[in-house]
Chains A and B, each alone.
Chain A
C-alpha cells in the first residue's frame, strides 16, 4: 500500500515535470528561403528583410526562436525544399517557388490559411492588393501570403527620345503609339548601311498577349487557346514590330549602349539598375524612366505581377506560432515598409505602397526617379495579371515561345499556324 502510494507520487511528480517541461520548452520555428533575389536581380543581403522580421517576432514572442538555413541558392531551392518535404523535415514556414505552388497546394504540403485568417481578428485581407492575395490561392483556397511583388513596366530611354524630339508617352498609350515611336527611332545613324538605333528590345509576344487580354490557358492548365481573335491581333502586331527592325536582331548590348528606346523591365530590375552603382556600371550613357506597358486594341495598359509567396507547412507542429510569424513577415506594416528598403520588390499592402512615407523611402533608395510615382505603380498593381502556376506552365510557355518565333519568321498563314501551335501545346499539356 505504502509502496503503491510512493509509486503513484513518483508518477505524479514525473508527469508534472514532463508537463512543465513540455509547456515551457523553447519553441523553435524554422523558415525556408533561398539566397539571392526572387526577381533575378543582384541583391546585397537577401536575408535582411527576414532578419528584421525575426527580430520583431522574437521580441513579441519571448521564448520562441526562429531559425533558417542560409546559403541555399535559388536554383537549388526547389529541390532542397522537396527533399525536406520527403524527409518530413520541411521548415514551418517557407517561401514557395511559384512553379511549385500549385503542386504543393494540391499534394497537401501547405496549410490552408482561410480558417486561421477568418479566426484572426487582427488580420484584414482587404489591405492587400487583391491580385497579390489571389496569387496565393489554389482552387479558391488560400495557401500562402505574398510578402513582396514586382510588376513589369516599360523602360523608356529618355535621352534617345529627347534627341529624336519625341515626348515620353503617358500611361495610357497604345500599341499604335508604341509602333509609331519604334518606326520613328529605328534608323541608321552612322551611315554604314546597317541599322544601329532601334525601337524596342525584349518585347515578347507574352507581354503583347497580356496587354491584349488574350487568355491562353484554362484554369486547370489542361488546355490552351491560341486561335482566339485577341491572339491573332497579338501575332499581327508582333509581326509588324518585327518588321520595323528589318530582320536585324536587337541585342542587350545595343540597349546598354543607349541605342534602344524601349525595354520592358520588372520593378525589381528598375530599382536595381536605377541607383548608384548599378546605373554607373551598366547604363551610364543615358537617362531613363518607366511607364506602363502599351495597351492592345482588345486589352488595357495591363501589366504582369510576380509575387513572392510564403506558406505554412501542413505538418508544422506549431501552426499557431507559424501563422503569427507569417503574419509578421507578410502583414506587419513595418516589415512591409522595409520591403522597399531591404529588397528590390514592392510591398503587397496597398496602404503601405500608397503612403507618403513609402514614396519618400523610394526616392531615398532610388534617386532620380521623378517619373516613378508610387501612385502609378499602385494603379498597375490593382489591374494587373498574375501568371498561371500550374506545374507545366513554364515548359508550355517555352514551347510556345519556340513555335511562335518560327511563325513570325516564316510569315505563313497566321490562323493556320496558330491552330497548329495550339494543337501541339494541348498535346503537351494533356500528356
Chain B
C-alpha cells in the first residue's frame, strides 16, 4: 500500500481504527459477560430455571465467546479488504455483502445485545462512496442496513437468548448497573460513529474543493495550450510560405530571369548572327534545365523527412510507432509483403495514406485499436487500415479522404472505405506489369 495520506485522511484512518478497536472492546465485553454468566449459572445449579426463560438453547459459553470474537475478527479483515484491498468494483460489492453477512452472524452470536457493529459496516460503505451515481446505491444500502437491524430485532428476538435474561441472573441493583454500562457502551459507539461521519464529510468536501480548483487550473492551461498551438501552426505556415517564396525567387525567378535575358539577347542577334543565337539558345536550354533540376530539388524538400532519410518500410513503422506512443492508440502493423521497388511518388502516397488513415481513426473514430495491413497481390499492392472506433453511418468525404483519392488517382490506384465494427479503409496501387500498362495508357 503505497498510498500517501493527507493529514486529514490520516486523522480519519485513526478515528476508524479507534472505532474498530472500541467495537472490538465492546464485543469482547459483551461476549465475555454472557459466557461468564452462563458458566456461573451452571455452577450455581440454576441452569433449568435459566433455560425456562429462554426461547432457544444458547451456544456453550466458550463456543459462543469464540464465535463472537471470530466473527468480529473476520469483520475487521473484510473491512480492511474493502477499504484498501486492490480489488475491482464487483469484488468489492461481494466483500461488502460478506461483511453484512458476518455482521448478522456477529449480532446473532452476541444475542442481539449489541448492534453497534452495523455502524462499522456503514462506516466502510461511506468511506468508499465517491461517485455521484452511487448515491442511490448508498441510500439502498443504508436502508437495507437499517431494515436488517430492525429485522434482526423482530425476527431473531425469538431465536436468541436476550441480554436481559443474562442480566436477570444478578441482583436487581447489579442489573441496573449492567444495563447502564451496556447503554453507555452503545451510546459511546454512536458518538464515535457520528464523529467519524462528520470528519468524513468534511474530508470529502475539502477533496471536492481541491479537485475543483485543480480542474480550473487545468482548463486554463488547456486554453493557453490551444492558443499556442494555433500560433505555432500559423508560424509554421508563414515560415513555409516564406520558404516557398524564397525557393521560387531563388530558383524559378533566377532561371526565368536568366531565360528572359537570354531570349532578349537572341531577339537582338537573331538576324545579325544566327550562329551566335544558336549558341545562346543552347545556353538558355541549359539554364532551363538547371531550373528544372532546381524545381525538382525544391519539390523534394516538401517530401516527408523520414522518407528522405530511410526506406519506406522503416518510415512507416516509425510513423506508426510515434503515433501510437503519442496518442495511446494500439496499432498493429501486419506486413504480408512489400513491393521490391517503388518510385518516390508511390512511396510518398503510401506513406501519406498510412499517416492520414491512422490519424483519421483516432480523430474521427475515437478508435483505440488500429490494424494496418499491407500486402502484395499479383499486379497490385494494398493497404488496409481497420479500426475499432465509432465508424460512421454516412461517410462524409472530408478533405483527408478526397486528398487520398486524388493522390491515388495519380497512380491509377483506388480507394475504398466502409464502416462496420469501426472504420475500414482499403487502398490499392497497381504494380509491375499493370502499373506499366496503366502508365502507358495514361
Binding site for B on A (CB under 8 A): 78-79, 81-83, 85-89, 100, 103, 106-109, 314-315, 391
Q: Are B57 and A78 neighbours in the complex by a CB distance under 8 Å?
A: no
Q: Are B60 and A89 neighbours in the complex by a CB distance under 8 Å?
A: yes
**A315 (CB) vs chain B CBs: closest residue:** B57
Q: Are A109 and B57 neighbours in the complex by a CB distance under 8 Å?
A: yes
**A313 (CB) vs chain B CBs: closest residue:** B57
Shortest distance in angstroms between A200's beta carbon and chain B's nearest beta carbon?
36
For window 260-274 of B, CB contacts with A under 8 Å fall at: none
> Which residues of A sit under 8 angstroms from B47, Cβ to Cβ?
79, 82-83, 85-86
**B41 (CB) vs chain A CBs: closest residue:** A86
The 5 closest A-B pairs by CB, nearest first: A88-B60, A82-B47, A82-B48, A83-B47, A109-B57
> Which residues of A sit under 8 angstroms from B60, Cβ to Cβ?
86-89
| Total A-B pairs, Cβ < 8 A | 47
A87 and B39 CA atoms in complex are apart in Å by: 8
Q: Are A103 and B57 neighbours in the complex by a CB distance under 8 Å?
A: no
**B51 (CB) vs chain A CBs: closest residue:** A82
Q: Are A79 and B61 neighbours in the complex by a CB distance under 8 Å?
A: no
A328 and B58 CA atoms in complex are apart in Å by: 30
A79 and B47 CA atoms in complex are apart in Å by: 6
Is residue B2 within 8 Å, beta carbon to beta carbon, of the partner chain? no
Shortest distance in angstroms between B59's beta carbon and chain A's nearest beta carbon?
7
Q: Which one of B42, B58, B63 has the greatest number of beta carbons of chain A within 10 Å?
A: B42
Q: Quick one: which of A83, A88, A89, A108 contacts B56, CB cutoff 8 A?
A: A108
Shortest distance in angstroms between A360's beta carbon and chain B's nearest beta carbon?
42
Q: Are B63 and A103 neighbours in the complex by a CB distance under 8 Å?
A: no
Given contacts A85-B51, A103-B51, A391-B52, contact A108 B57 (CB under 8 A): yes
A79 and B50 CA atoms in complex are apart in Å by: 10
Is residue B54 within 8 Å, beta carbon to beta carbon, of the partner chain? yes
Given contacts A87-B42, A391-B52, contact A107 B61 (CB under 8 A): no
Shortest distance in angstroms between A5's beta carbon and chain B's nearest beta carbon?
31
Given contacts A107-B55, A107-B56, A108-B56, contact A87 B61 (CB under 8 A): yes
> Which residues of A sit under 8 angstroms from B48, Cβ to Cβ?
78-79, 81-82, 100
Is residue B45 within 8 Å, beta carbon to beta carbon, of the partner chain? yes
Q: A82-B47, A85-B47, A108-B57 are in contact. List 7 more A-B contacts (CB 8 A).
A: A79-B47, A86-B47, A88-B60, A89-B60, A109-B57, A314-B57, A391-B52
Shortest distance in angstroms between A103's beta carbon and chain B's nearest beta carbon?
6
Shortest distance in angstroms between B26's beta carbon and chain A's nearest beta carbon?
24
A78 and B57 CA atoms in complex are apart in Å by: 15
> Which residues of B sit under 8 angstroms from A315, Cβ to Cβ?
57
Q: Are B52 and A86 neighbours in the complex by a CB distance under 8 Å?
A: no
A88 and B42 CA atoms in complex are apart in Å by: 11
A107 and B51 CA atoms in complex are apart in Å by: 9
> Which residues of A sit under 8 angstroms from B388, Cβ to Cβ?
none
A108 and B161 CA atoms in complex are apart in Å by: 12
Given contacts A79-B47, A79-B48, contact A86 B55 (CB under 8 A): no
Q: Are A86 and B63 neighbours in the complex by a CB distance under 8 Å?
A: no
A83 and B40 CA atoms in complex are apart in Å by: 11
A109 and B60 CA atoms in complex are apart in Å by: 13
9 contacts between A and B (CB under 8 A): A82-B51, A85-B51, A86-B47, A86-B58, A87-B42, A88-B60, A89-B60, A107-B51, A109-B57
**B63 (CB) vs chain A CBs: closest residue:** A88
Shortest distance in angstroms between B44's beta carbon and chain A's nearest beta carbon?
10
> Which residues of B sit under 8 angstroms from A81, Cβ to Cβ?
48
A87 and B59 CA atoms in complex are apart in Å by: 8
A87 and B52 CA atoms in complex are apart in Å by: 15
Is residue B38 within 8 Å, beta carbon to beta carbon, of the partner chain? yes
> Which residues of A sit under 8 angstroms from B57, Cβ to Cβ?
85-86, 107-109, 314-315
Q: Which one of B38, B56, B60, B61 has the greatest number of beta carbons of chain A within 10 Å?
A: B60
A87 and B47 CA atoms in complex are apart in Å by: 10
Shortest distance in angstroms between B35's beta carbon and chain A's nearest beta carbon?
11
Q: Quick one: which of A79, A88, A109, A391 contacts B59, CB cutoff 8 A?
A: A88
> Which residues of B sit under 8 angstroms from A89, Cβ to Cβ?
60
> Which residues of A sit under 8 angstroms from B58, Cβ to Cβ?
86
A81 and B48 CA atoms in complex are apart in Å by: 8
A86 and B62 CA atoms in complex are apart in Å by: 11
Shortest distance in angstroms between B53's beta carbon and chain A's nearest beta carbon?
10
> Which residues of A sit under 8 angstroms from B63, Cβ to Cβ?
88
> Which residues of A sit under 8 angstroms from B45, Cβ to Cβ?
79, 83
A381 and B18 CA atoms in complex are apart in Å by: 68
Shortest distance in angstroms between A220's beta carbon and chain B's nearest beta carbon?
15
Shortest distance in angstroms between A26's beta carbon and chain B's nearest beta carbon?
23
A83 and B48 CA atoms in complex are apart in Å by: 7
Shortest distance in angstroms between A60's beta carbon and chain B's nearest beta carbon?
30
A391 and B52 CA atoms in complex are apart in Å by: 8
> Which residues of B sit under 8 angstroms from A87, Cβ to Cβ?
42, 60-61
A392 and B162 CA atoms in complex are apart in Å by: 21
A89 and B38 CA atoms in complex are apart in Å by: 14
A115 and B403 CA atoms in complex are apart in Å by: 84
Shortest distance in angstroms between A216's beta carbon and chain B's nearest beta carbon?
22
Q: Are B56 and A103 neighbours in the complex by a CB distance under 8 Å?
A: no
> Which residues of A sit under 8 angstroms from B52, Cβ to Cβ?
103, 391
Q: Are A107 and B54 neighbours in the complex by a CB distance under 8 Å?
A: yes
> Which residues of B sit under 8 angstroms from A85, Cβ to Cβ?
47, 51, 57
Shortest distance in angstroms between A151's beta carbon and chain B's nearest beta carbon?
28
For window 38-86 of B, CB contacts with A under 8 Å fall at: 38, 41-42, 45, 47-48, 50-52, 54-61, 63
Q: Are A86 and B56 neighbours in the complex by a CB distance under 8 Å?
A: no
A86 and B37 CA atoms in complex are apart in Å by: 11
